[in-house]
Structure 1
Amino acid sequence: MQIALLQTQADPVTPGPAGLTSLEGAAREAAARGARLLVTPELSLTGYALEDPALLAEPADGPSAAAVSRIARQYGIAVAYGYPERGEGCAVHNSVQLMGPDGAALANYRKTHLYGPYEAKHYTPGEQLPVQAELDGVRLGLLICYDVEFPEAVRAHALAGTDVLLVPTALMRPYDTVAETLVVARAVESQLYVAYANRAGREGEFDFAGLSCLAAPDGTVPARAPGSGGTLLVADADLAALRASRDRNPYLADRRPELYAR
């Protein structure tokens, strides 16, 4: 499966609902380059540094979802996009939704591990893990940024059969080691691909690290973005290579969960 990763240049002045224009351009280019799936950063439709995310929050089937559905259908490409979701009651969730290439909503995931006081103040954590969808016979899983830093969350996906883990992210400096080392380790230890799409540059008080990547289960990195600037990566998640790697590295089969509970 050819996967496109959009690394966006953060807007230092005017975060807000301008992400659809960037997303449509990326979908057009990704489809032209042969990608079947586009992964965009955390909160890609609005920007991350929002004074009050509740003001831009929408339900999962709101106007932005309709717009992304049209884009996906027009270019024949699945799209994973981040947005503030209006949930039950007054809850606002940091969410990612996956639209299929036919425009159908395939899955919606609410970030389960919130990072820092900013997110704790504005968002309600999700309670469902793992969230998955099927595309072209490939089982896709969804996490968001800080979630991937918890081995339990990624292992839950591995045990549920996820082949490619999509991780829209807003990784900040000075935590570059997460993108450079930890994401690759997660791919190896749980034997899956990790598609990690970040933003780059300063937005409000946050300085984002870039370094978007596709990490493979054999420890290689088929695609890596620089630490600054916007770019669109396209790389192959090779399912034959995934099966071969799982045969060579039977971590899941060799687990002894009866010991870990102690």
Structure 2
Amino acid sequence: MTLLTLALFQARPAFHSADEALATLNSAMSRAAAAGADMLVTPELYLSGYGSAAAARGAAQDLGSQTLHAAAQIAAEHRIGMVLGYPERCGRALYNSAAVFGRDGRLISNYRKVALPNDFERDCFVPGIGPEAFEFEGVRCSVLICYDIEFPELARRAALLGTELLLVPTALRAKWRFVSDAIVPSRAYENAMFVGYCDFAAEASNSQFSGASSICAPDGQHLCRATGPEDLILATIDTTAVQQRKSDFDFLQDLKGIGCATSPIAKIA
């Protein structure tokens, strides 16, 4: 049994400077630490705000930049892990990325979004290559970003790596609220994993986002959900629930006997 308390920071949507973003993040990390969190997740592209190519390019960070070093110091100061959504510069390429820092501020993983859903992202970013697994406090974790989780194949790839907790920074628009309501818990259920899905807040002045961040259990149930405005929500996950869910039936194991990849597709007359 491994217990881990996860916090989701449903931040206000804003195009802000790196210093402003870090100051707000530091406050959220302080509150999360006081509440007993082991790790905090931010929304997608938290560091720049979502939807502006100029803002993304202006806030883009190389791995090892002063701004990412400052974020790492925040994690170390509060002694909790962090998943930070940010625009990453690598040579001439720009990625929609999420950096994962440990309690000591060490960079554990850096994930680059694979599925780019709109003109803003396709014009601005290069796709990554898919999830990898890493250990945090004895829990096997992976990261996907926003649209990635709408592809069953990407969540399944994470599951096949042994992922127990899938961390998903997102910028979900209000009109696609179905994703947070139905698809996210389905991914948790079909892959026997916990999913932490962190969106931007829905505000009267900027209601384009769903503001429906949630943490889902391997049985597909929501452990906690945000209500719309800026919020910090927490839930403690127990990895024994992963094995309990698999003891009922294990999709990953049973899939081997189905042969979906080689089954012929019947033609419809």
TM-score, normalised with respect to structure 2 = 0.91
Deviation at 1:56, TM superposition (A): 1.6
Structure 2 residues not aligned, in runs of 5+: 264-269
Q: Match of 1:193?
A: 194
How far apart, CA to CA, are the structure 1 residues paired with 2:167 and 2:71?
A: 17
Alignment of 1:64 onto 2:67:
yes
* Contact kept? 2:53, 2:124, Cα under 8 Å: no
How far apart, CA to CA, are the structure 2 residues paired with 1:236 and 1:143?
A: 20
Q: Any residues of structure 2 matched to 1:27-46 within 5 Å, and which?
A: 27-46=29-48
Q: Match of 2:180?
A: 179
How far apart, CA to CA, are the structure 1 residues paired with 2:117 and 2:206?
A: 15
Deviation at 1:205, TM superposition (A): 8.9
How far apart, CA to CA, are the structure 1 residues paired with 2:51 and 2:79?
A: 31
Deviation at 1:133, TM superposition (A): 1.5
In the comparison of the two structures, how many residue pairs are matched? 257
Q: Residues 13-67 of structure 1: CA distance to partner in whole angstroms, max 9, x if unpaired?
A: x444322112111111111111101011001112113242222211121112101
How far apart, CA to CA, are the structure 2 residues paired with 1:158 and 1:113?
A: 18
How far apart, CA to CA, are the structure 1 residues paired with 2:94 and 2:21?
A: 19
- Secondary structure in structure 2 of the residue aligned to 1:41: coil
- In structure 2, the CA distance between the partners of 1:205 and 1:36, relative to structure 1 (3 Å rule), is closer
Q: Match of 1:247?
A: 247
- Secondary structure in structure 2 of the residue aligned to 1:180: helix
Deviation at 1:238, TM superposition (A): 1.2
How far apart, CA to CA, are the structure 1 residues paired with 2:52 and 2:205?
A: 8
Aligned AA (2:224): A
Deviation at 1:203, TM superposition (A): 11
- Secondary structure in structure 1 of the residue aligned to 2:105: coil
How far apart, CA to CA, are the structure 2 residues paired with 1:203 and 1:98?
A: 31
Q: Any residues of structure 2 matched to 1:58-97 within 5 Å, and which?
A: 58-87=61-90, 89-97=91-99
* Contact kept? 1:10, 1:203, Cα under 8 Å: no
Q: Residues 237-261 of structure 1: CA distance to partner in whole angstroms, max 9, x if unpaired?
A: 1112222112112111101363324
- In structure 2, the CA distance between the partners of 1:186 and 1:65, relative to structure 1 (3 Å rule), is same
How far apart, CA to CA, are the structure 1 residues paired with 2:87 and 2:186?
A: 29
Aligned AA (1:112): V
Q: Match of 2:267?
A: none
- Secondary structure in structure 1 of the residue aligned to 2:127: coil
Moved over 4 A (4+): 202-206
How far apart, CA to CA, are the structure 2 residues paired with 1:131 and 1:254?
A: 23
Aligned AA (2:84): Y
Deviation at 1:153, TM superposition (A): 0.2
- In structure 2, the CA distance between the partners of 1:192 and 1:145, relative to structure 1 (3 Å rule), is same
* Contact kept? 2:52, 2:120, Cα under 8 Å: no
- In structure 2, the CA distance between the partners of 1:73 and 1:203, relative to structure 1 (3 Å rule), is farther
Identity %: 37
Aligned AA (2:118): G
Aligned AA (2:247): D
Highest CA radius of gyration, 1 or 2?
Answer: 2
Aligned AA (2:178): T
Q: Match of 1:210?
A: 211
RMSD (Å) for aligned C-alpha atoms = 1.8
- In structure 2, the CA distance between the partners of 1:49 and 1:202, relative to structure 1 (3 Å rule), is farther
* Contact kept? 1:19, 1:47, Cα under 8 Å: no
Q: Point out the more displaced range, 133-142 or 241-250.
A: 241-250
- Secondary structure in structure 1 of the residue aligned to 2:179: helix
